[in-house]
Structure 1
Amino acid sequence: MRQLTFLLLLISSIAFAQKPNYKGRNISKITLTGKVVETNTQQPLEYATIVLTHLKTKKVTGGVTDTKGSFSFQVPKGMYAIKVEFIGFKSKNLPNKQLTANTNLGTITLSEDAETLEEVEVVAEKSTVEIRLDKKIYNVGKDMTVKGGNASDVLDNVPSVNVDAEGAVSLRGNENVRILIDGKPSALVGLTGTDALRNLPADAIEKVEVITSPSARYDAEGTAGILNIILRKGKITGFNGSVNLTLGNPDQFGIAPSLNYRTKKINLFSNLGYSYRKGPGNSFSKFSYLGGDNVIDSIQTEDRTFDRTNKNFNASIGLEYFLTKNSSITGSFFYRNSKGDDIATNIINQLMFNNPQDITRIENEEEKGIDKQYSLNYTNNFDGKGQKLTIDLQYGESDETELSPITSNGVLTEDNSQVTKSTDKLFQIDYVLPIGEKSQFEIGHKTTLQDLSSDFKVNILDPTNNFDPSNAINFKQNIYAFYTQYGSKIDKFSYLLGLRTEITDIDLDLLTTNKTSDKNFTEWFPTVNLGYELNDNENLTLGYSRRLRRPRHWFLNPFETRSSTTNFFRGNPDLTPTFTSSFDLGYNTRVKKLNLGASIYYQISTDLIRPVSLTEVRNGNNVFVRQPLNLNDEQRYGIEFTTNYNVSKKVRLSASFNYFKFKTDAFDYTYTFTDINGNSVTKTLPLPEVNESSWFARFNSRITLPAKIQWQTRIMYRGPQASAQTDRDGIFVTNLAFSKDLFKDKASLVLNVSDLFNSRKRESVTYFGGRENPRTISDGTFQWRERQISLSFVYRFNQKKKRERPRREFDGGGEEFGG
């Protein structure tokens, strides 16, 4: 019955919007505002519905509450019967309400309905996108193509976001994106973010916030913007939860229970997970060496296969205690224990015309890692009218050990190890003060302290080889941030103005070479976010922000990877931060069943950090080193479209398209190395101006088949792209999923095929020495993970599936200022 009421309310609201005149006369409107909260905890109720029935015309209109439980919408003057509803709660009636002027109904409290409580769903199917003044929110909901997957799979399905073959995350084609968990840095991301994201189960994620124009509340780190992953937390009284079992091929097994117990005074929540997974992958590289006349005089190929086995256990548990109806304290603990056994077999074929030879090089890497994080949060909502104080404390430890012996043609040639330890501390305080009904002031401080050590030891057993790439570092990074911002809404116009300053202190000690690199700087980061509602279904946004990219420790650490004897990655301790100014103009409209969004964006970056490929000579042979450098300035601009179209209850379609163009200034890089005779050799690498473009597109369909089987298809294409040294081909990926609900909707069975055509491969050509006169050309193909087929079974107890009301069926009128 409530679903029917909500549908009628939607239709009537559209009818009101389309009929400015009633019986030929203009109907003046008033603004109705208020707030809906839960009776005991005073927590705001998002998506609560306010239904107004005109007592004379019997017309139905209304709206829904926002994330703060507030509502604001316009209705014609008149006498109304008002009903406030929320799934699982008792409705509240306000009969015979005369509305002749702007009216504030105050705070309306709703109590839980024990008879309908079990019908509430934790994993709700919300609208695909929620538009805020400074971000877009994508709800994971019933996205079947990520069932049994991980956080990387979830991010790769979010519009504007791409995850490449190696797991690197990019936003609008820019890989410098900041990833947060529940709004803060987290041990869930770990020391090496891409690997850690593969260990976070997709079922633990509720939604992803895409913040391309962050307000001053957010860290300035991340020139592309911020991806904030929001984890699921129980909101229902009583004991409830779910269990997810997954089996797959290549070998995959996972179990992920999510348990929650809540009373009037406490909320105990947990997410557990164990996974066993094999991840076969492969790569092929062909190096063509050119003589003085640009004729190939020798060729070397490297054919690698990766046989990865990963075992991962993660657990998070938290307890929220409600001190008063408006304040609470929450403590949580996260633990992850991961173990990886990776065998990389590299068959090297050196087709040198005077001395051809074959080498089989095997690296057997055993990796163990433990991550711990302790968090404490205090929240006080004061009078429940928007004034809010939050205090966060966080302490994390990460400990990772890698042992990687290497054999060549069956003989042990290297015995390598790396031990990395890190401690991270965070203190954050935020205060929000409402000013009137539509303005808000905010101020806050954040301190983050990181202390990391890495000891990389290389033991080369060949007595004729005098090259020792062993390396040890101590890395400390302390950041002290202060911010303030003010937001308000004037009629249909919203604005949020902020200013943030960050004091950065970086100390890098290169213990092996007794060198130090200290960087201390203070920078200011202004932010501007503007919004204008053209009408009930259309709005414009404009954002500006200044941001930076600090080099992470693995980019500063000059250790070299050892999987190949000729192809390495090495950090650069001389890197300096990149600063970026970003502008973003967005438009969003809804026409009946169609939702369309469009954005135009522009970025200009200074001291851009990009990896380049260098050539050195060791033991009489050429080796290729990939190293990050600061490459002067870059301009980047693009346009993005997103759309959702609900054809019918059984067919839902969505798509996104992003085109971007970038221009990087020319740059000549001079570097020095020592040759086999101990002589110092200096080379200059000319990097020409780059003026290129690329694009990517996604299409998603969800169709209900007979017997209520859900069929979902995701198609993604990432266009080709060129840089100063490398041309990269396009990538085409297709994912399929089928889902069937069982046992009166208490369980679901999901069949998922990731990368149906096994086509997720990076194919590229790199020109060493420059495009104009290359000395070596490398053709490469890389596939991190092959096609995966999985079957997941989800069982829910003390829950039933029921759709939650869409976020923006009615224009609630008030934008949320900040995050």
Structure 2
Amino acid sequence: MKKITLLILLISFTAFAQRTTKDKPSKITLTGKVLETKSKQPLEYATLVITNTNTQQVIGGVTGAKGSFSIDASSGTYNIKVEFIGFKTKNLGNYNLTESKSLGTILLSEDAETLNEVEVIAEKSTVEIRLDKKIYNVGKDMTVKGGNASDVLDNVPSVNVDAEGAVSLRGNENVRILIDGKPSALVGLTGTDALRNLPADAIEKVEVITSPSARYDAEGTAGILNIILRKGKITGFNGSVNLTVGTPDMLRVSPNLNYRTKKFNIFSNLAYSYRKGPGNSQSFFTNFDDNGIISDYRNEDRTFDRKNNNYNGSLGVEYYINKKNSITGSFFYRNSKDDDIATNKTTFYNENKVFTDNEVRIENEKEDSIDKQYSLNYTNNIDEKGQKLTIDLQYSDSDESEPAEIIVDGVLSEQNSQTTTSKDRLLQIDYVLPIGENSQFEVGHKATLQDLNSDFRVRDAFGNPLPNDPSNAIEFKQYIYAFYSQYGSKIDKFSYLLGLRTEITDIDLTVFTTDQFKEKNYTEWFPTVNLGYEINEGDNVSLGYSRRLRRPRHWFLNPFESRSSATNVFRGNPDLDPTFTNSFDLGYNTRISKFNLGASLYYQYSTNIIQRVSTLEERDVNGVLTDVTVRQPVNLNDEDRYGFEFTTNYNPTKKIRLSASFNYFKFNTGAFTYVYTASNGSQITTELEEVNNSSWFARFNSRVTLPWKVQWQTRLMYRGPQSDAQSDREGMFMANLALSRDLFKEKASLVLNVSDLFNSRKRESITYLGGRNNPSSISEGAFQWRERQITLSFTYRFNQKKKSERSGRNGDFDGGGEGF
């Protein structure tokens, strides 16, 4: 790497000396672009070596982010070569240059012999800008070492992960999460919670897609987060092993092994982890009678004692049939065993805050889940111009069992169980047709079929149904058939990508215990427009539009009630309808020397937004009429959401790397009257007033190299306060700290990481049940999913050298994507 840097400096100095010569020949300019042969992706930092055949003087230059170059020279005869780390040097021969000339598109092929010098894990986190997405390479982010996928996402600009693990993009929680471009068993039946079991070391990069093109699923009104897993790129046998220990109790072993030859690439990501996850929550309720006078108080303190044993592994084989065709098969397996104890201490007070009663309710839930996924991919690079056909087949099988015992004041009260099975099938076909040098047409089809069954049983201590039996069983079927086409082109500095997608949705929901049958069938069209203009090599502007939707997931439709608390429950709503959103995004990116800046303005208009609403219902609890809080997702009115964000990177020296991001958003939701039918058949009306509110969040990240090559990384995050129709949420601050040192001639790394340094990652809020103007109850609460975590992580790499990976492949528009 040092030799290449010196060569570039020498070339630059020689070129400068030539330009200052007094009697110089006429000036000419060489232009062109350097691309990778197979993917047609631009190669940034490729070096052009231009040698004068008469004087043997050397001039040259380096390609920019788009793979393009523009080099000034004097007229004469030159030998021209193009070099790039890990690729075969291309000698273009001799040229007699008397006037400016374009060398056109130069294609470089990977060199299998020199690939051993390219490290799989990039030295630094980088950002790649595409017309329809931003790609964040995880790199050597120390604050996620020993962590999981949720920790990685929480470190990506524009993304937040709250105290419960819910992922949001620009403040909107309806974000679609994909693995390697497709729905995956890694996400599991429980949504984003399952990401906590995916180790961070298995992730290579995250694609943030706020203005998705027609190639992507229309699901996710906020956009898409696509997690790309690592796959070996080095010939021979190589890999790494990570061992992490921590407090609260935590142990993780995760080897990543890879073997590659000219015909085969065998890759694997394995992990075993054991961890305890202590958490807590507090809720204080002030209840009012019909005249608005305080009737009583209730305090609930919960502690969560979680134990998790998790094993997951993936094994894949890629077979290169020939230079143009390859087939990849992979298998994923996860077995997760949880033992969770939730202790809920409830204290009751009268209107004068005088103690009247108390109750200790313990839920001991054991969860055993097995997820399996089989994937098959066929890729045919039909010609060197970029014509490409890909076919994906995927089958997933998930089985989850959750038996639970509920003990009230030391006596067994309930024996509950829930079993959920899901079978998912996927077929996807994509075809890419280049038209000329700068245009591309794409067409594709995708079918996603899900069959899910969930059986929830509630029994008393003797195995008998309760008087008002809350048990239920559902059958959920969701079949989605999608077709799309899109056309992209570049005219000089202007790029555009226009697409149209249609999705045919068939949903059947059967609730057996109440003999309900819900059927929703609809066909919708989703146009997309992405425009880009390259002002110069370092500045570009983009404009995107897309129409998207949010389909209710099965756990939002299932009407069963949670049982960990008798007075604070959640239940699904089988009457939910999808949310539709029109999104606009205007972006600007600039690069000035060591400083990078990205800025975006965005606007979203959504109809039938889905939001959780809390109501107060009077029920018989242990023979006493008690106010019970019932939370349920409902369709509210339309919502306008708009905001802006900034992301910056500044590297003043090789030893200091700084980055920051800031996001501000404002939203408006109309007033809404919600009518809820209580368990006794009575109607409860809740008036939700209009919401016109804003919020913001900011991040700052620094990495400093200390003496003795110790690296120190600090990450700070603050999320501003936010309000909705029923609640006010306080701001939240969090800090992570990490120290790292490479060992054994940089074959190993030792990382000390403190996550949530000040133990401040808590959600604090006030909820007004029944509406803000005339509440029937006010709840003040705080929730902490997990407490401060300290980990020590050791990683050993074998047959991997410590040179930076020079990917740098920034396309004008993505022609095929990561399996989309």
TM-score normalized by structure 1? Answer: 0.94
Equivalent residue letter for 1:237: T
Q: Matches of 1:775 and 1:578 in 2, distance apart?
A: 29
CA distance in 1, matches of 2:468, 2:657: 60
Partner of 2:434: 434
Aligned to 1:602: 603
Q: Distance in 1 between matches of 2:722 and 2:478?
A: 34
CA gap of 1:818–1:598, structure 2 versus 1, over 3 A, is farther
Q: Which residue of 2 aligns with 1:627?
A: 632
SS of the counterpart of 1:145?
helix
**What is the alpha-carbon distance in structure 2 between the residues aligned to residue 606 and residue 11 of structure 1?**
59
CA distance in 1, matches of 2:665, 2:188: 31
Give 3-state SS (helix, strand or coil) of 1:198's partner: helix
1:75 alignment partner AA: I
Task: Tell me: CA distance 1:281–1:362, structure 2 relative to 1, closer, same or farther (3 Å).
Answer: same
State the shift of 1:94 in Å: 3.6
Partner of 2:169: 171
Change (3 A) 1:23 1:381: farther
Paired residues of 1:9 and 1:60 also in contact (CA < 8 A): no
1:459 corresponds to: 459
Contact 1:126/1:807 (8 A) holds in 2: no
How far, CA to CA, are the matches of 1:557 and 1:139 in structure 2? 38
Q: Does the C-alpha gap of structure 1 residues 443 and 8 become closer, same or farther in structure 2, counting only changes over 3 Å?
A: same
1:495 aligns with 2:500: no
Q: Is the 8 A contact 1:286 1:302 kept in 2?
A: yes
Q: Which residue of 2 aligns with 1:613?
A: 614
The answer (yes or no) to whether the contact 2:150–2:195 under 8 Å persists in 1 is yes
**Contact persistence 1:257–1:271 (CA under 8 A):** yes
1:214 to 1:360, Cα distance in 2 relative to 1, 3 A: same
What RMSD, in angstroms, separates the aligned Cα atoms of the two structures? Answer: 2.5
Give, in angstroms, the shift of residue 614 of structure 1: 1.2
For residue 344 of structure 1, what is the aligned residue in structure 2? 342
Corresponding residue for residue 51 of structure 1 = 48
Structure 2 Cα separation of the partners of residues 7 and 302 of structure 1: 68
Q: What is the deviation of 1:773?
A: 0.8
- Tell me, what secondary structure is at the counterpart of 2:63? strand
CA distance in 2, matches of 1:573, 1:27: 73
1:482 aligned partner, one-letter code: F
1:645 has 2:639 as partner: no
Q: 2:789: which partner in 1?
A: 788
- Kindly indicate whether the alpha-carbon contact (under 8 Å) linking 2:439 and 2:489 is maintained by their aligned counterparts in 1: yes
Distance in 2 between the 1:434 and 1:73 partners? 23
Aligned position for 1:590: 591
Structure 2 residue runs of 5 or longer lacking an equivalent are none
> 2:670 aligned with 1:665, yes or no?
yes
Gap change, CA 1:23 and 1:424, over 3 Å in 2: farther
1:429-578 to structure 2, matched below 5 A, reads: 429-461=429-461, 466-578=467-579
| 1:664-710 deviations in Å (ceiling 9; x for gaps) | 011111122243xxxx3112110111000000000000000000001
Name the amino acid aligned to 2:524.
Answer: E
Note the alpha carbon deviations across 1:142-181, whole angstroms, 9 max, x for none. Answer: 0000000000000000000000000000000000000000
**Distance in 2 (alpha carbons) for counterparts of 1:174 and 1:558:** 24
Q: Is the 8 A contact 1:366 1:403 kept in 2?
A: yes
Question: What is the CA-CA distance between 1:271 and the residue it aligns to?
Answer: 0.6
State the 1:72 CA deviation. Answer: 3.6
Q: Where do residues 293-312 of structure 1 align in structure 2 (5 Å cutoff)?
A: 293-312=291-310
Matched, 1:389 2:394: no
For the 8 Å contact 1:769–1:776, the answer to whether it is kept is yes
User: Which residue in the other structure is 2:71 paired with?
Assistant: 75
Partner of 2:798: 797
Task: Determine which of 261, 264, 272 is the counterpart of 2:262.
Answer: 264
Counterpart in 2 of 1:330? 328
Counterpart of 2:406?
Answer: 406
Task: Return closer, same or farther for 1:814/1:286 CA change in 2, 3 Å cut-off.
Answer: closer
Q: Which residue in 1 is equivalent to 2:769? A: 768
Q: Secondary structure at the match of 1:636?
A: strand
TM-score, normalized by length of structure 2? 0.93
SS state of the match for residue 102, structure 1? Answer: strand
Asked if structure 1 preserves the Cα contact closer than 8 Å seen for 2:239 and 2:256, the reply is yes
Q: Secondary structure at the match of 1:325?
A: coil
Paired letter, 2:360: T
Distance 2:6 2:659 in 1: 24
Query: Quick check: 1:127–1:807 contact (8 Å CA) kept in 2?
Result: no
In structure 2, relative to structure 1, the CA distance for the partners of 1:318 and 1:662 (3 Å cut) is: same
Q: Does 2:416 match 1:420?
A: no
- Cα pair 1:274 1:313 within 8 Å, conserved: yes
- Give the structure 2 partner of residue 208 of structure 1: 206
Pairwise CA distance, 1:460: 3.6
**Cα 1:766/1:269, change in 2 over 3 Å:** same
Whether contact under 8 Å (1:315, 1:334) holds in the other structure is yes
Task: Say which SS state the counterpart of residue 197 (structure 1) adopts.
Answer: helix
Is contact 2:497-2:813 (8 Å) kept? no
Which amino acid is the alignment partner of residue 664 of structure 2? Y
Instruction: Measure the CA separation in 2 of the matches of 1:532 and 1:10.
Output: 34
Aligned-partner Cα distance in 1 for 2:616–2:3? 66
Count of matched residue pairs: 800
Amino acid at match of 1:768: L
Counterpart of 1:737, as a letter, is A
Change in Cα spacing, 1:58 to 1:11, as seen in structure 2 (3 Å) is: closer
| 1:135 aligned partner | 133
Matched, 1:754 2:755: yes
- Matching residue of 1:356: 356
Shift of 1:617: 1.4
Assess if the C-alpha contact under 8 Å between 1:47 and 1:86 holds in 2: no
Say which SS state the counterpart of residue 800 (structure 2) adopts: coil
- Asked if the contact 1:471/1:512 (under 8 Å) is kept, the reply is yes
Paired letter, 1:560:
E
CA distance, structure 1, for counterparts of residue 425 and residue 6 of structure 2: 46
Q: Is the 8 A contact 1:126 1:806 kept in 2?
A: no
Corresponding residue SS for 1:558? coil
Q: Quick one: distance in 2 between partners of 1:106 and 1:654?
A: 34
Equivalent residue of 1:356, what SS?
strand
Return the offset for 1:98. 4.5
Q: Give the 3-state SS of the residue equivalent to 2:208 in structure 1.
A: strand
Query: Percent identity among equivalent residues?
Result: 68
Q: 1:386 to 1:50 in 2, by over 3 A?
A: farther
The alpha-carbon distance between structure 1 residues 769 and 380, as it changes in their structure 2 partners (threshold 3 A), is same
| Larger deviation, residues 456-465 vs 425-434 | 456-465
Determine which of 243, 246, 257 is the counterpart of 1:245: 243
Cα pair distance change 1:806/1:449, threshold 3 Å: closer
Contact 1:287-1:776 at 8 Å conserved across structures: yes
